[in-house]
Amino acid sequence: MPELPEVETVRRGLEPAMVGARFKSVAQRRPDLRFPFPERFAERLNGQEITALGRRAKYLLADLSSGEVLVMHLGMSGRFLVVQGGAEIRPGEFHFDPALGAHDHVVFGLSNGATVTYNDARRFGFMDLVPRSDIETCRHFKGMGIEPLGNELSGETIARLFAGKRTPLKAALLDQRLIAGLGNIYVSEALFRTGLHPEAAAGSLVTATGRPSEKAHRLADVIRDVLNEAVIAGGSTLRDHAQVDGTLGYFQHRFRVYDREGEACVTPDCRGVVQRLVQSGRSTFYCPKCQRPRIKRKSAS
């Protein structure tokens, strides 16, 4: 499933074609994806101007002049293709499989001449229309945590969210009710760079007085750095993902620990070997030497 950097990459690719344009035509080619399309979907979009294109966690949000928001989720294999100025922008190798054209489920014709096609072979993505006034309380975002790329993420915030939690650190970071949008790949990378063991208790980042530890401050900074690096690189492009202009992201070539089981740790002079463990059904990659669990010393009796 595309993670936050991939979704942000898609948003940046769509923004020049969509923002400021109006929906001139909407071709909805099936009644549902993961969920049914909203009632009168095409009718409610036609003629509306796209005033902004944002992102919340792994969702794309297109603000419309009607006061509604077009909420879009890519699911596992969803992607957009933009055609503008008479030239088709091909999304990498994906385009060259003729069978995949059957999975062009929604086609937006825009007033600026651009055509934006949503393709989803597995149909785990979806689209919805939500009033802007209800966006934070709607079913998609109610109870969702803070944005990891926003100003709210800090050592103090991590201490507040993780205080008293015995949940493994990786599981806490993947909890969308705490921090929204973090996924398996980039959490593994952030924990490695911070030197934190994925099975350490989340509450271990909080001092006895409730203050953030030095590692909590470091983790907040590293999460932001890893995500920004991935956005600049264009995302991970694992399996199905490609940017809307057809180029591939290459952050996977910068992975320091993810998917490197059995390989030597990249930390100078470490001599550790990357290991894999399974947490909640997901693979976690870590260096047992760089990411040693914290051992609490027993107080003298």
Residues 293 and 285: their CA atoms lie apart, in Å, by 14
For the residues 246-265, what does the mean pLDDT come to?
Answer: 75
How many helices and strands (H and E) does the chain possess?
A: 6, 11
Among candidate residues 3, 6, 8, 68, the one labeled active-site is 3
State residue 96's pLDDT score. 35
Active site (annotated) includes residue 289 = no
Assigned CATH topology for domain 4-134:
N-terminal domain of MutM-like DNA repair proteins (3.20.190)
**CA 294 to centroid of chain Cα atoms:** 29
Active site (annotated) includes residue 3 = yes
The H or E element containing residue 194 is: helix 184-194
State residue 245's pLDDT score. 56
Does residue 240 surpass a pLDDT of 60? no
Lowest mean pLDDT among 28-37, 78-87, 135-144: 78-87
Among candidate residues 58, 79, 193, 218, the one labeled active-site is 58
What are the domain boundaries of the chain? Answer: 4-134, 155-286
Helix (H/G/I), strand (E/B), else coil: 101: helix
Active site (annotated) includes residue 39 = no
Residues 4 and 132: their CA atoms lie apart, in Å, by 22
User: In the 8-state DSSP scheme, what is residue 106?
Assistant: E
Residues 166 and 200: their CA atoms lie apart, in Å, by 8
Q: Tell me the torsion sign for CA atoms 152, 156, 159, 160.
A: negative
User: In the 8-state DSSP scheme, what is residue 159?
Assistant: H
Residue 236 confidence class, pLDDT cut points 50, 70, 90: low
Residues 108 and 243: their CA atoms lie apart, in Å, by 18
Residue 281 confidence class, pLDDT cut points 50, 70, 90: confident
Average pLDDT of the chain to the nearest whole number: 87
Residues 102 and 98: their CA atoms lie apart, in Å, by 8
**Binding residue numbers for DNA:** 103, 122, 165
- 222, with CB counted inside 10 A (0-12, 13-18, 19+), is buried
Helix (H/G/I), strand (E/B), else coil: 10: helix
State residue 138's pLDDT score. 97
Tokens for 237, please give them.
């492009």
Q: What are the CA-CA distances from residue 242 to residues 73, 115, 268, 286 (Å)?
A: 15, 18, 33, 27
**CA 260 to centroid of chain Cα atoms:** 21
Active site (annotated) includes residue 11 = no
For the residues 232-261, what does the mean pLDDT come to?
Answer: 64
**Binding residue numbers:** 103, 122, 165
Does residue 21 surpass a pLDDT of 70? yes
Does residue 49 surpass a pLDDT of 70? yes
What confidence tens digit (pLDDT) does each residue in 83-141 have? 887 655 543 233 334 445 789 999 999 999 999 999 998 999 999 999 999 999 999 99
DSSP H helical ranges for the chain:
4-18, 41-45, 155-162, 169-174, 184-194, 214-233
Q: Does domain 155-286 have CATH number 3.90.920.10?
A: no
